[in-house]
Amino acid sequence: MQCGGGRSKADRVHHEGDYIMSYARSDFSESMDRATITPDKIDKVLAAWGESTEGYGEWSGGFLLKLKDGRFAYLTGWCDTTGWGCQDRASIDYFDKKPKLSKCNNEEAQWDDAPADLNKWLADGADHDKIY
């Protein structure tokens, strides 16, 4: 799958200087797969960010999650322009208390604090083939 691919007009895209701030459901699900967290463990996506230097391929981003066991998690992912499955990585950190967004990312990320599309996807059963 192309990294950052599958973005539609419904995906959140913000232009900031030379970067395009965005994330897609595919980036979220690919990051989850690589960090070995399953959708059934996630209660809600509280915030999300993503950026692509050229706007279509290379991507990095993160997702602040509230877990069903009461903890919080920060999921982050990255892939190069060759796409997910070639050169990519994801990791997850767990917290007992909700961390500040500024603690989740060393750089100043443009956070979306209302990722309704990701929460709808989770609520609908996290079907990888479902298109919104």
Query: Is residue 117 domain-resident?
Result: yes
Query: Is residue 2 domain-resident?
Result: no
67-82 residue pLDDT tens:
999 999 999 999 888 8
Query: Is residue 129 domain-resident?
Result: no
Radius of gyration over alpha carbons of the chain, in Å? 14
CB 29 within 8 A of CB 128: yes
pTM of the model: 0.80
Separation CA 22–CA 8 (nearest Å): 11
4-28 residue pLDDT tens:
444 433 344 444 444 455 788 889 9
Query: Is residue 3 domain-resident?
Result: no
Query: Is residue 84 domain-resident?
Result: yes
User: What is the domain extent for residue 79?
Assistant: 13-123
Query: Is residue 131 domain-resident?
Result: no
Q: Per the structure, how many domains does the chain have?
A: 1
Q: Counting every residue, how long is the chain?
A: 132
Query: Over the range 63-99, which residues count as b (16 or more CB within 10 Å of their CB) and which as e?
Result: bbbeeeeeebbbbbbbbebebbeeebebebeeeeeee
Query: Is residue 128 domain-resident?
Result: no
